[in-house]
Each structure stands twice: as C-alpha cells, then as structure tokens.
Amino acid sequence: MSKIKVMGETLANKIAAGEIVERISSVVKELVENSIDAKSTSIKVELEESGKKRISVIDNGIGMDKMDVQNCFQRHATSKIYKEDDLYFINTLGFRGEALPSIASVSDVVLESSNGIDGTSIHIKGGQILDISPATLRTGTSIKVSNLFYNTPARLKFLKSENSELASVVLYLEKLALSNPDIAFTLVNNEQKTFSTSGSGDLLKTIHEIYGLEISKNMLLINGENDDFLVNGYIGKPSILRSNRNHMTTFINGRVIKNLDINKMINEAYSTYKPDNLYPIVVINIETDPTLVDVNIHPTKQDVKVSKMDELSKVLIKAIKDALYSSMLIPKIGSDGEEEYSDESIDDPIISRLPVSMFVNEEKTVYSSNTFIDKESCQESIDFTFNDKNNQLKKLELYPVGIALGTYIIAENAEGIFLIDQHAAQERINYEKVLKGIISHDIVSMLVPITLELSKSEFEIVRNNIDIIINMGFEISEFGINTFKISAHPSWVKTGKEYDTIKAVIDTIIEEEAHFDPVKFNDKVAATIACKASIKGNSRITLDEAEFLLNELVTCDNPYNCPHGRPTIIKFTKYEIEKMFKRVM
C-alpha cells in the first residue's frame, strides 16, 4: 500500500501558518500590507486584548467583488503575479497568496469587501467556509480575525503577554507608517487610541507623529544616488542614539526589511560618531530596480537579497556621512541635566516650516513608543560649509580657565562654559594625523630595530599580508622562526610608541584578515594608535597645554567627536547656568 499521500488543503494551510503567522504582529503585518497593496489612503487597526481576542483591519482601498472575496482564501490565489517572470518585477508587498488562507486556517475570520458595485461578506472558521452573503457597498475592505490559534494550542501557548504582543504590533505598524507617510494609520487597543498618523505625505511630520518632537527635531535629511540606487530619508544626530536596533528602520522600494548587511553599513557610516554598543535612529528608503532585489527568500518577506551590494554600500555610507559631516554637533546641557531645545537647534528646512501646532500633543495616548525613549542630551547644530566649518568652532573663542577632575578642560566665552574631554580631544587630533600619515608618509629609520615574535598561525597571517604593512611605510622582514624585524617606520609614528604602534597594526591585520577592507583597516589602525598615544583621564595638564590642545582641535576635520563616537566638547549656556542659580526665572 502506498505510504505517500497528497496533503489536505486544511493541513497544508496550518503548516504554512506556522511559518507566516508567528504572533499577533505577523497577522497585523499581512492584513495591513494587503490594505496598502489595495491602494488604501486610510487604514485602521483595532485590537481587543492586544489582538489575542480580536484583530480588525479596516481600509478604504479598491475592495473586491464576490468572486475575489471567495478566491482570496484559496492557497496561492493572488492578484499580484500571474507568470514566472513576474517574480523578478515585484512591486507589491504581498504576492504569494499564502497569508489569508493560513490565517483563516487557525482562526475565526469574517471579511467584508466592496468595490463600490458589489459588496460581499464571508465567514470562515478553521479554514471552512460557514457563510457567504451580501454586504454594504462602502468601498474598501474590513477583516476581523478572532480567537487566533484556537485550534492549534501548541502555537497559542507561545503567545507572549498582552503588553509584549502590543509592543510588537506597535513597532511594526510604526515602520509601515514610516514607509508610507501618505497613508493615515490608526491603532486602537481595547477602544483606546495608541497612535495615529495624518497621512500628509511628509516623512518628517510622520516621524514627529510617531516618535515625538525630541526625535523629529534632531533628524538630518539624507540623499544619495548612483546608477543603481537612490537613497533618501532621515537619520538621527548622535545625541539620540539608542541601546538597540529597533529604531533602525530601512525600506527597499517601500518594503520594510531587516538586513544585517545594510545595518552594518549604517553603523559603519556612524563609526566615528558613536560608541559600538549604541545604535542610531534612522528612517531610510532605498529605491532600486526590482530585478536587483530578491524578496522571495523568507516567508515573512522581510529579509531580502540585494545584488550590487558594494554599490549600495558606497552610496548609503556616503549619504549618511555627508549629512553628519554637514553639521557641527556640540551637546548642550540644560538646567535640569536633561536636554533643552531652542529655535536655533531647528536647523532642518522641513522642521522649520512645520506649524507650531504640530509640536503640541493634542491627545494623550495610553501607549506609545516614546515610553521607551531615554532622555539624553540634545545637540545644538551649527551649519557650515566645507571651507569654513572649523571657523565656526574658532569663532567660539574658547579660553581655558581650569582643569576639572584631572580629565576635563574648562573653557569659557560670552555664551557660557564648555567642558572638553582632554583624552577624547587629543584622540581626535592623533586619529586624523595618523590617518593622513597612512595615506602619505615619510619613512624614518630606526637605530635599534624592533623584533616581534608571533604564534605560528599569526605569523602566517602577517606574512600573507605583509604588503599592507610595507605600504603603510614600515620596513619589515622575516627574522628567524615566527619573528619579524621592523627597521623603519613612517614619520607619523610617535617617538617612544614605535613598538605599540607596530603591534597595533599587526593585531588589527590578524583580527580583520578574514574580512579585510583597506579603508576600514586604516580607520581602525588610526583609532587604535590614537587612543594609545593620547593623554589619559586623571592626568593633569597645564593651562598652556590645554590652550595648545584646543588650538589643535579646531584644525581637525571633525573636532566634535573622538574616533569612537564620544563627544569631545559639551556646552553649558550662560542662561542655563544663571537659571540654576536662580539669577533668572
């Protein structure tokens, strides 16, 4: 007797549901994406008990006729692709035709839809059609999903708490709203509004509606393009970094994606503006030819493969760096130790044209992503051009008046008091000197050569990459078993730091050998050497030395952050100091 049998439709849909419908946010994602594909301009999501009891999505899209209402619950039934070649030109969020039958197989579903001419209602439970009847002629679609996973208890028990499920729904809906600023989104849980967007089509306004004023006024516009990619959106200033990647929102052709390579590109662009354990807030859309993107590699369609990743890396990193480079970023501390905002900090042309009423919360919501936003110091932004940006810092005319805690230079001018981290400042100075020295160097012979003994594996890695060291200006040769001799070094190497420098170079080569990139390598070497060569905290210097340090700092290409992203200088305004001492009220 034959052992292999064709699987029943209901069982196949339940198996597919295990891949597509992981939790409540997965259902919301699939239903809302269908509404977006239906050309909706208004989408409302209503939840009961964070969706555990009921999920409803109501849109004003093009709707469906009676035949389409029935067919949409058949597996692999879709209006979005018709032939094999269509897989290479996908311009919709959905296309497989798996989501609705999968959801219907593990829940109780009632769908009503009308195209303005024909209105139909269908009731399906556990994949079985219970009723089909006429419905109202309101153009659009309404779908209600109740008792999710009622017939798959193994899946039901893995749902998390209501707060956790709601947080997941909010996070994804926020991303969908950011990818579609021209659509008005509303989320309601237990008859209480959680958040809403206006559908104005203004991305920055949508960012404000979701994240609030503290975030929106600290966003920088980015634009970049090459022959294959167009990049645009907003990135956060380093003052609003976060401890996780949840606020790194990226889209490809309007599709919300999660791609580790693209996240690495973004972090790399921020590399000298932030610590490694903090992440930026970004909202970035990447537009490209659909043939360069494969979205058919994961059931949720969030992970994608992108051709010409090197070209994307170049344009994305450049766009972010240009935006960060075009603003002078000095953290400003308010009287209460938290951020204070003044009109001059709104330096973005889009922010400045938004109505004042937009920055006032007219309705207090019960739940918001802002609940999880930490209070951090904002950054006062001063625009500059390439030719005069350092003159902006020079115009501050800072005069060192003391050293605090053996670590911070205290300087002042008419505007207020500035604290300069002496280690971070000198680290930035040394970093840029080393980086420029690596690119163009003079060689200095050593009276006493340095010998460096390595393990066998390390020796082989260095020997295979010895040209890198030679190209940096070092004279290096093999010298016995697993040993190298260095007899000359580039002129940028600090006297007395020759051994530490060559050791840092070799350690970096060993660490980066598997993923070597010349630009990243030079950057990492320069940062490592700069850190080792800089004055440490709790090391007192004289006021003359402090003044010399400040004079060198203003000549730097980026005087406002150390190579690891920490600020070099923080401002306390005269007004806020007087406010703390009650001189002004």
- pLDDT tens-digit series, residues 335-364: 444 444 333 333 444 334 343 333 333 333
Per residue in 412-450, pLDDT tens?
888 888 888 999 888 888 888 887 777 666 677 888 888
Q: Are 551 and 260 in contact (CB under 8 A)?
A: no
Reference 374, options 271, 246, 250, 220; nearest CA is 246
409 class by beta-carbon count within 10 Å (0-12 exposed, 13-18 middle, 19+ buried): buried
pLDDT confidence of residue 319: 93
Domain architecture of the chain: domains with CATH: 9-196 (3.30.565.10), 203-372 (3.30.230.10), 388-585 (3.30.1540.20)
Q: How far apart are CA 342 and CA 333, in angstroms?
A: 12
Q: How far apart are CA 455 and CA 343, in angstroms?
A: 59
pLDDT confidence of residue 387: 40
pLDDT confidence of residue 190: 94
Hey, how many other C-beta atoms are within 10 angstroms of the C-beta on 360?
8
Q: Which residues of the chain have pLDDT under 50?
A: 14-18, 81-84, 86-89, 94-95, 335-387
Structure tokens at 416: 């207020």
Q: Using N-to-C axis directions, what is the helix angle for 422-439 and 518-533, rounded to 10°?
A: 140
540 class by beta-carbon count within 10 Å (0-12 exposed, 13-18 middle, 19+ buried): exposed
pTM of the model: 0.67
Q: Are 299 and 315 in contact (CB under 8 A)?
A: no
Structure tokens at 407: 């670590």
Structure tokens at 24: 């409540």
